[in-house]
Amino acid sequence: MTSEPRTTPIRVPDRLFAELAAGGGSAQAVAFLERGERARRLLLLRTLLDRIAELSTPLTPVADAWEVVKDAAGRDPEAVDGLLLAPTTGAWIAHMLRRVHGTATGPPLWAEAGRLNVLALTAALLAGTETALTVPLADGGLHLPGLGRLRLPDAPPGPSVGLAVARAGEVTLSGPPRDGGARPTVTCRPASVPVEPRPAGPGTAPSVETAPGEPVASAPGEPVAGGSGDVRGGRPAG
């Protein structure tokens, strides 16, 4: 993760630019914009991976988490591309780039950078691959983009480290040991059917809370952008 990213500009053909400037746009014009957004997103992601590659963290290292993403993309590239191109992923990348440049603040940097591990876990669940990753927990909770939220019972407040295992489309999350050494554990299987979200206030994205044995389900209303391409061969290519 040390090579300089390519910076070849993407130029909009005059005909497509005229269509878009007129306030419309053919399917070809829209597809061109989507390809451009995908290239931009993956270039920013590659830049971020370079910046956090050597970050001191109690979590699974960045390079190992990215290998999980690549493995999942080899099984289901469309699902993984949609995950990487989701608006929430873009917001995280932008925030993290500000953090590594010292222009934003937040929780411990390792905890925010650990969203890559959460994305890797989600990719494995979507693609049906197997993995075991340490992931950041917030108040004992783990949000899986597009799938829902796991919450360990009686979890301590603040950031902590959990162990998440994805196998055959099922996820098992274990939290830090309690007094006596026992680890709280929740196992869920993602469901393809929507469930009723908790009431959300204005501007609050709906989330799905799960209890032990209940399925993780898609949170209605969470936007996911489409995309095309291949992230299987290495780092994201611009």
Domain ranges within the chain, ordered by starting residue = 15-194+206-217
Residue 235 confidence class, pLDDT cut points 50, 70, 90: low
Indicate if the pLDDT at residue 225 is higher than 90.
no
Task: Please answer whether residues 106 and 99 qualify as being in contact, where contact means their C-beta atoms are separated by less than 8 angstroms.
Answer: yes
Residue 81 predicted with pLDDT over 50: yes
pLDDT band at 32 (very low <50, low <70, confident <90, very high): confident
Query: Helix H segments across 14-86?
Result: 14-21, 27-52, 62-75, 77-84
Q: Token pair of 220, please?
A: 């209605």
Tell me, yes or no, if the pTM score tops 0.85: no
Asked which of 142-151, 154-163, 196-205 is least confident by mean pLDDT, the reply is 196-205
In angstroms, the CA 36 to CA 213 distance is: 42
pLDDT mean over 25-51: 88
- Residue 125: HSE in the Cβ half-sphere, 13 Å Cα cutoff: 30
Residue 141 CB contacts under 8 Å (≥ 6 apart), including other chains? 149, 150, 151, 152, 155
Percentage, residues of the chain above pLDDT 70: 77
| pLDDT at residue 5 greater than cutoff 80 | no
Residue ranges with strand state E in the chain:
131-138, 141-144, 148-151, 159-167, 170-174, 185-188, 190-191, 216-217
Report residue 29: phi and psi, to 5°.
-65, -45
Residue 221 predicted with pLDDT over 80: no
